[in-house]
Amino acid sequence: MRLYFAFLANEFQTNLAYKSDVFLKMLGRVMGLFVQAALWTALYHNTVSAETNMGQIGLNDMINYVVLSTCISIMVNNNTIFQIGDKIRSGDIGLQLMKPVSLQTAMLFQAMGINASRLVFELVPLVAVAAIFYPLELPPVQVLPLFLIALANGFVINFLLAYTLGLVGFWYINIYHLSRLLTDVIKVFSGAWIPLWFFPQILTDLSEWLPFRLIYFSPITIYLGKTDAFDSLMIILQQFMWIGILVLVAKFVWHRGISKLVIQGG
């Protein structure tokens, strides 16, 4: 266990070193926030609130949604897929077989380290800046624990998706392509950019079958109080279910990948 925490601490420190990078990234995010907020303000110009299956969604909801989405992206995004891709390409992945450490767990903790540092150095400043310009809301206290659990689960789901796709690197070398595809799919179906409320029926139905909304859309709806306790628990349950599925898929891909490696060589 100690070992895993060492991974976490390491990544935390590494991230700290690149201060100017962090500042510039934050600047970029703040600008992105301005763009999104302006977009929704313009869209709501002639409407006070929009009717959706979760009740009325007003401009204020959307502003908070946008900020939350940006925050979640800071908390779940990391370079896991590239780390794995690099390991496979360089052949280090073979060394992994000889270590008493599970790659998946090690990578998970590394990811947690990265995101923990981003939480401190990127999220806090972002929220501070956002709070100056926009009316941010805090959720009612009873919602908070459910929200945090959903957030954590969302992180794990995102990690597993990145990890599994990274393992596809055993067969398809160009990790960059895989990463782009994942990002694009998540952008649409997770509600990270446009909430699922506004999707046409076909897309909403499609999203129900996919795990992506459980990373962004669902946790945000919990925070905004758009779901009652029952719905929130359902969301969390679905998250656990998907985590289970993805862990199995990852295991499967790993075994296939490793046997390919062992039989065919690097």
Partner 1 sequence: MNSLRLYAQFLSVYFKSLMEYRFSFFMDIFIQFTTYGSTYMGIWIVLTRFESIGGWSLYEVLFLYTFNLLSYGICSLFVWSPMRQLEWMVQRGEFDGVLVKPMNPLVHLIFRQFNQHFLGHILLSCIVFAICFRHLDIVWNAANICYFVLALAGATAIQAALLIISGSMSFWFVKSNSFTDTMIYSFRGFLDYPISIYSKWIQIFLTFVIPYAFVNYFPSQYFLGKEGSDLFHPFFRFGTPVIGALLMMLALFVWRKGIDRYQGTGS
Q: Please report, as ranges, the residues that interact with partner 1 according to CB under 8 A.
A: 20-21, 24-25, 27-28, 31-32, 34-35, 38-39, 41-47, 50, 174, 177, 180-181, 183-185, 187-188, 193-194, 198-200, 203
Nearest-5° Cα angle at 157, 156 to 161 = 115
Q: CB-wise, 9 or 39, nearer to partner 1?
A: 39
In whole angstroms, the minimum distance from the beta carbon of 190 to partner 1 comes to: 11
Q: How far is the CB of 21 from partner 1 (least distance, A)?
A: 5
Q: In sequence order, what are the residues at sequence separation of 6 or more whose Cβ sits closer than 8 angstroms to the Cβ of residue 185? A: 212
Inter-residue contact 170 to 94 (CB < 8 Å)? no
Q: % helix / strand / coil in the chain, to the nearest 5?
A: 80, 5, 20
In whole angstroms, what separates CA 233 from the centre of its chain? Answer: 20
Which lies closer to partner 1 via its Cβ, residue 36 or residue 232?
Answer: 36
Which stretch of DSSP H or E encloses residue 145? Answer: helix 143-167
Least Cβ distance, residue 102 to partner 1 (angstroms): 31
- Shortest approach of partner 1 to residue 17 CB, angstroms? 12
Q: Name which of 20 and 142 has its Cβ closer to partner 1.
A: 20
Q: Is the dihedral of CA 115, 191, 158, 28 positive or negative?
A: negative
Nearer to partner 1, 5 or 133 (CB): 133
We find the least distance from the C-beta atom of residue 198 to partner 1, in angstroms, to be 5
Whose tokens are 């926030």? That residue is 33
Nearer to partner 1, 198 or 240 (CB): 198
